Structure 1
Amino acid sequence: MAKNKSSHLEVVLIQLISDVLEKSNNEALNYKQVSAKLNITDPDSRETILDILKQQTQKGVFVEAQKGKFKLKDLKTFIIGKVDMTADGAAFIIPDDEFEKDVFVSARKLHNALHGDKVKVYIYAKKSGRKNEGEVVEIIERAKTDFIGVIKISDRFAFVIADDKKMMQDIFVPLSDLNGAKNRQKVQVKITDWPEGVKNPIGTVITILGEQGENNTEMNAILAQYGFPLQFPPEVEKEANAIPEQITADEIKDRRDFRETVTFTIDPADAKDFDDAISFKKLDNGHYEVGVHIADVAHYVTPNSALDKEAYGRATSVYLVDRVIPMLPERLSNGVCSLRPHEDKLCFAAVFELDNKANIINEWFGRTVIHSDRRFSYEEAQEVIENKTGDFSEEILKLNELAYILRDKKFKNGAISFESTEVKFKLDEDGKPLGVYVKERKDAHKLIEDFMLLANKKVAEFIAKKGKGKQKYTFIYRSHDSPNLENLGNFALFAARFGYKINMKSDKDIAKSLNYLMEDVEGKKEQNVLTQLAIRSMAKAVYTTKKTSHYGLAFDHYTHFTSPIRRYPDVMVHRLLAAYLNKEKSADAEEYEIAASHSSTMEKRAADAERASIKYKQAEYLEENIGNLYKGIISGVTEWGMYVELADNKCEGMIRLRDLSDDFYVLDEKNYCIIGQRKKKTYQLGDEVQVKVKKVDLSKRQIDFSLIQ
């Protein structure tokens, strides 16, 4: 064996020997005992075991406790972690143990591990001043085996070139496994084998997505890339179609009847799944009864049914630029469960008695039946608010007045108002973008949002207060931690360059100054950059059974109760709330924590898929505008380039540092800028620049700009 470089076989033997010594309860073993535990009887192989024991003792992996007897040194020589692939094919292993440092693994020592895989890594003895380096010895769990890409077919073989930038290898496909795919089509391929020492994995085509560049193909490719199925299994559709729309008299008898109370929905103009409605009634005592009625999905989707298992797996609906991929089949999402006007519908509700100052006098939670009188679009409801006339104007204007008071209380308590821009596309019948615009949020949007927040908050508080310590009731909360002060400090330094001050004395001071910033920045060129940076400095909201607060909303307890048609956590919340209202015992916390974690993961995937569809449409839009000049703002800086967001249409592309010929530029990460090494010219996040559309790569969803200096 080479003295300085361990072969892969040697690394595997070191691992096996380490496992034997680890299981020996700290008893020192000689090479014969180690060999016996490994079922090695061949004398030459036993000599190899002895050689390794001696060599690795010199390197500090083992210790010779007695003459000829060895123990594992009290150092971790192996770690478990996830592969984080770099652009050049090497990787860093992010340890499961947060107190361990990342380990660098060169491309040739990954041994077929791919981005995101869970692996076991042998750590080499560290040389002074060098970072931890290692070698993958076991792939414990693949992050994924399915990839999306373009297939290239020759006379003798075929390859799929993956869209995923982190997938460095082409996937070899035998001609017998094409399954009807044609040259240059976009396909989904599954890796079926990858022998040790072979450069490329072997796969089979499992789905033909269609021709490159076609809208349907590209949108389906995005869904497949992020692991969302393109259709519902037949048994799920069958189960959904068997559900009757007719509501029985017995079912109505067991519910609080709101069919004679004024009720309406307010949703986007193109929405088909209406999962929330508001009822309104003025009471004799001068107070107002406001009901937040949510589609009773849990009544129709029962635990462990085919529908339930499919909804759990998806965990969320996915909203791409031109389509919605629902969590539930259309029969439920747009039909049985959707709170369509002029139809009796089953709901789960949070009903509040409010005084004129939006103080809650009474609250009630339970199952209801409603009959929506009107379906408003946001635009129609906004017209009523602005013109003070129209259908149900008295009810909408009073709800808007109460919503303003609720909103004001929320911000006074320390909630943060993030108003980031939402990009929308005007598409032709083939899905081709004709224009890009920014969606505006007005009072009608905020009215609905404030009453949904109230329902979510009060449902969470109701359960949180029911039991403490070991007596607490298992529930699904929406948790949002306080921001990391180091991240927020960096953001505060950057915001100060634009003249904005962040007071970091307390959580309330932080929230107050962030809100002032958001008000001041509205409509200014730096609005989106500062908003996005502020959001990035915050913790990410997640689902959990832990009874924790929501920092961004300044609520002690918060949940998601209001969208069960499109979010599985809301379905779980309805089930748990119904059980506890029926005096049932607390549910299994471990089971629900696993479900909460899965829902958080799928929520992130759905958000990534949505962003990918926006990136694709932005690239498609600018492909028709190559050579055109635009004004923009620097929205991001990296070691290889700076991102620019165009002022007119919010499309984002990159100016690559290698294309800046007037100097050698490097990234100053701490100060969010790039600096020329000779002339010291600086390009700062938030700077205005003029760019030309240089190149568009639709398959990679990439836009390249040239800087006009």
Structure 2
Amino acid sequence: MQETDRNFEKRKKVIYQFMQDELYVPMKLKEIAAVLRISREEKEELRAVLNELETEGKISLSKRGKYSISKEKHLTGCFRANLKGFGFVTVEDEASDIYIGAEYTGGAMDGDTVEIALLKTDGPGHREGKVTKILKRGITKVVGLYQPGAGKKYGFVIPDNQKIGMDVFIPIERSMGAVSGHKVVAELTSYGERGRKPEGKIVEIIGHVNDPGTDILSIVKGYDLPMEFPEKVLNQAARVAKPVSEADMNGRKDLRDWQMVTIDGEDAKDLDDAVSVVQEGEDYILGVHIADVTNYVQGNSALDREAYERGTSVYLVDRVIPMLPHTLSNGICSLNAGEDRLALSCIMRVDPSGHVTDHEIAETVIHVDQRMSYTSVNKILEDEDPEEIAKYREFVPMFQRMRDLSRIIRQRRHQRGSIDFDFPETKIILDSKGRPTELKPYERNTATRLIEDFMLLANETVAEEYYWRELPFLYRTHEAPDDEKIRALATFINNFGHSMHLGTGEVRPKEIQKLLAKVEGRPEEPLISRLALRSMKQARYTAENTGHFGLAANYYTHFTSPIRRYPDLQIHRIIKDNLRGRMNEKKIRHYQSILPEAAKHSSEMERRADEAERETIKLKKVEYMQERLGNVYEGVISGITKWGMYVELPNTVEGLVHVVNMRDDHYEYDESRYEMTGVHTGRTYKLGQPLWIRVIGADRLQRTIDFEIAEEGNEDDGEKEWYEADRK
């Protein structure tokens, strides 16, 4: 198969070079075949080669059927639509996206693979283009709200995805009996060519918009997240989920007498990492023990193919959509306390300065002594809670060693320039009907940080070993930011009296770290932190190691979560093949052929999961505030734009005070300092300023929350109670 592909690529190169010759004149297919003496039997392959070159934008076909080298520079990429009609095309291995004006989208929809022609290039970061051809549609189904048309002879689906700028027309005979208010899935039958609305047919009725669970299910369907496992996969999971036997333990390092624990959130069920720490002299022996999922999920089995397609577990506010069936993820693969489990362990000797001076990666059998929660460990280490200390007396010395080692590891990471963006995540408490009853920020504490530190160190250690082994591997990489974006950030922060040392080469992570330290606790911190984050590139999976900018790490991978991330599962397979002496030339070629696509697919699935998770959080925040219209809260100004001010509340809800709702004056916006000043009153609003607001709107469709300015003390007692409860 690979040989065939190589021959095809060679022929493409020959044909393209032939057409680039200065003596070449535009020719039809049969003329090219005659000149190059291509037989009648090979003519179809020539046609395929020419079609491929045309798809890539390297050659063009005239109306008379003649082929020539394209005069315009054509590129192929993914179109990302904007709500305002324009869009951007992301081209693989290109540093910056290409802007597509609303008049040049060519009917492309969000997610389409398109061919574009470059129209204008003003430097590497400013390119504009037009869509010349839609190569592949990214959206085949639309999730939205059904509304009957006039006379109920047809209907429309109003898409949840607002980047789809038009409603979808549904003939009545294709409506599946949907009625007003139903959330539905519509399959597109046409894409609205020549100015017409897209057309479709309803293939699923999710439920009524007011039914419990319909809102989250709509997001699940909108992102095409797989809810159910095929029966074949479930059957295979049930067959392999057998208790650990003596045969399973053969050849493994037996660590069952090591004191070790799992430390997770209270509601976690898929426990894929256990930790142990002992001291030898001044050195620490840190064991990070990871569930050996590959023992149960064989390469290219039905289980493996399903896990590959899913790419990752998805954590939504009301449910988890797992990568592996619960039989495995919550059962035999979960490192449950009191049970023998198979693991892949990374055992590191760490000196007092935080350097890993020696390590071993081994197949092991372990026996977790205690399932701990972040809350309990934090109570022991930070609160020194007598009850908790008494309850877990035998583990307290190990937790204290863990705390000390964690500080050493973090200090070393900080010294080399690792960046820590500490934005509060939201914890949402739902009632039995899925309604949000409480919002609060997730607390990062000593316990969460120590697990984070240990996992990062194990990931780095494994990545470095396999980089120097020169074996095929999957890395977690994060490239340095674009020079242009960093220079724009440096110019902006000058307005606040801050500076960054850029030098002649690329920016170093240490400079970003220093900036975040400078603004910590200052009014401008939220804005500058967000702008610094936006200047970064997105971390992704790659088959080549280019280092991790954000962590200031030369080597980094994802090794510690094979229950919920496919790349971790894949590298466990590589590690075990190496440990067992099975990494021969055939295996190396196999991994070299599959890893680039596995990296790309895993990165895409990760982005899909992240977007779905964000959408469910935004939805529940809006739902929560819908119940609190008219309430008054104190928040902090987190952003200022020409259309208004964003205010963040203690419970992480962010809403907009629109300029049209600032009726006491006409406000002018200072773009350089992100400030608003009243023309008549002289009142100035600045970043980080505390502000009392009243909730005046919450739109579930748009996922937006609107505030207006309120004077302190205007809230009645009932509203005050809400505020106090939320703040706590």
With structure 1 as the length reference, what TM-score do the two structures score?
A: 0.82
1:85 is matched with: 81
Q: Residue in 2 aligned with 1:117?
A: 112
Is 1:157 the counterpart of 2:154? The answer is: yes
Secondary structure of the structure 2 residue equivalent to 1:308: helix
Q: Which residue number in structure 2 is paired with residue 404 of structure 1? A: 407
Change (3 A) 1:218 1:118: same
- Give a deviation string over 1:455-514, Cα, whole Å, max 9, x none: 101001111112xxxxx3211111112233443344345445555554445999964554
Distance between the aligned counterparts of 2:513 and 2:308, measured in 1? 36
Distance 2:554 2:253 in 1: 29
Structure 1 Cα separation of the partners of residues 485 and 683 of structure 2: 26
| Unaligned residue ranges in structure 2 (runs of 5+) | 1-14, 33-58, 712-728
Q: Deviations over 1:76-99 (max 9, x none)?
A: 075544434343445555667949
Question: Separation in 2 of the partners of 1:491 and 1:79?
Answer: 29
Supply the distance in 2 between the matched residues of 1:185 and 1:148 (Cα, whole angstroms): 11
Percent sequence identity is 35
- When residues 451 and 216 of structure 1 are mapped into structure 2, their CA distance, relative to the original with a 3 A threshold, is same
Alignment of 1:180-191 (within 5 A): 181-191=178-188
- Contact 1:634/1:642 (8 A) holds in 2: no
Kindly provide the amino acid, as one letter, of the partner of residue 396 in structure 2.
S
- The residue identity in structure 1 corresponding to 2:655 is G
Residue 463 in structure 1 maps to residue 466 in structure 2: yes
- After TM superposition, the structure 1 = structure 2 runs for residues 141-290 of structure 1, keeping only pairs within 5 Å, are 141-153=136-148, 155-179=152-176, 181-194=178-191, 196-197=193-194, 199-282=196-279, 287-290=283-286
Indicate whether 1:695 and 2:697 are aligned: yes
Q: CA deviation at 1:148?
A: 1.1
- Take 1:291 and 1:112, find their aligned partners in 2: how far apart are those partners? 55
Q: Does 1:446 align with 2:449?
A: yes
Residues 1:425 and 2:422 are matched in the alignment:
no
Partner of 2:8: none
Alignment match, 2:566: 568
For 1:164 and 1:680, locate their aligned partners in 2 and report how far apart those are by CA, in whole Å: 41
Query: Aligned in 2, Cα 1:427/1:524: closer, same or farther, shift over 3 Å?
Result: farther
In structure 2, what is the equivalent of residue 545 of structure 1?
543
Partner of 2:339: 343
User: How many angstroms apart in 2 are the aligned matches of 1:175 and 1:71?
Assistant: 46
Query: Could you say what secondary structure the match of 2:408 adopts?
Result: helix
**How do residues 27-42 of structure 1 correspond to structure 2 at under 5 angstroms?**
none
> Which residue in 1 is equivalent to 2:575?
577
Q: In 2 relative to 1, CA 378–300 (structure 1 residues): closer, same or farther, beyond 3 Å?
A: same
The answer for the alignment partner of 1:307 in structure 2 is: 303
Deviation at 1:655, TM superposition (A): 3.5
| Structure-2 change in CA distance of 1:299 and 1:76 (3 Å) | same
Work out the CA distance in 2 between the residues paired with 1:218 and 1:557: 41
Between the aligned partners of 1:647 and 1:224, the Cα distance in structure 2 is 31
1:302-348 C-alpha deviation (Å, 9 max, x unpaired): 11112111111111111122222111111111112111111111111
Paired residues of 1:414 and 1:508 also in contact (CA < 8 A): no
Q: 1:195 to 1:380 in 2, by over 3 A?
A: closer
* Offset, 1:296: 0.9
Offset of residue 350 of structure 1: 0.2
Question: For 1:347 and 1:691, how far apart are their aligned partners in 2?
Answer: 52
Change (3 A) 1:151 1:20: farther
2:632 to 629, 634, 651: 629
2:241 and 2:328 in contact (8 A); partners too: no
Displacement of 1:385 in angstroms is 1.4
Q: Given that residues 146 and 157 in structure 2 are in contact (C-alpha distance below 8 angstroms), is that contact kept between their aligned partners in structure 1?
A: yes
Gap change, CA 1:617 and 1:697, over 3 Å in 2:
same
Question: Post-superposition shift, 1:160?
Answer: 0.9
How many residues were matched structurally?
650
Q: Which residue of 1 aligns with 2:294?
A: 298
Distance 2:478 2:556 in 1: 9
Residue identity opposite 2:187 in structure 1: K
> Distance between the aligned counterparts of 1:671 and 1:71, measured in 2?
55
Which string of whole-angstrom CA distances, capped at 9 and with x for unpartnered residues, describes residues 230-278 of structure 1?
2222222222122233112111122111111111100001111101001
Cα distance in 2 for partners of 1:513, 1:25 equals 50
Number of the residue aligned with 2:594: 591
The answer to whether 1:331 aligns with 2:331 is no
1:380 pairs with 2:366: no
- Would you say the 8 A contact 2:354–2:412 is kept in 1? no
Note the C-alpha offset of 1:544. Answer: 0.7
Amino acid at match of 2:217: N
Question: CA–CA distance in 1 between the matches of 2:351 and 2:100?
Answer: 62
Question: Structure 1 residues 348, 96: closer, same or farther in 2, change over 3 A?
Answer: closer
Q: Secondary structure at the match of 2:194?
A: coil
Of residues 477, 480, 497, the one that matches 1:479 is 477
Mark the CA change 1:198 to 1:604 in structure 2 (over 3 Å): closer, same or farther: same
The CA RMSD over aligned residues, in Å, is: 3.9
Asked whether the equivalents of residues 502 and 510 of structure 1 are also in contact (C-alpha less than 8 Å), the reply is no
> Partner letter of residue 332 of structure 1?
L
Deviations 1:576-617 (A, max 9, x none): 111222331435334201111111121122111111111111
Amino acid across the alignment from 1:242:
R
Kindly provide the amino acid, as one letter, of the partner of residue 203 in structure 2: I
Q: Quick one: structure 1 residues 424 and 329, their matched pair in 2 at CA, closer, same or farther if it must change by over 3 Å?
A: same
Q: 1:547 to 1:381 in 2, by over 3 A?
A: same
Counterpart residue identity of residue 410, structure 2: R
1:170-194: per-residue Cα shift (whole Å, max 9, x none)? Answer: 1122333334544311122221334
Please tell me whether residue 608 in structure 1 is matched to residue 611 in structure 2: yes
Residue by residue over 1:661-692, the C-alpha shift from the partner in whole angstroms, topping out at 9 and shown as x without a partner, is 65486784x65567899999876654554433
> Following the alignment from structure 2 to structure 1, what is the Cα–Cα distance between the partners of residues 85 and 417?
45
CA apart distance, 1:654: 2.6
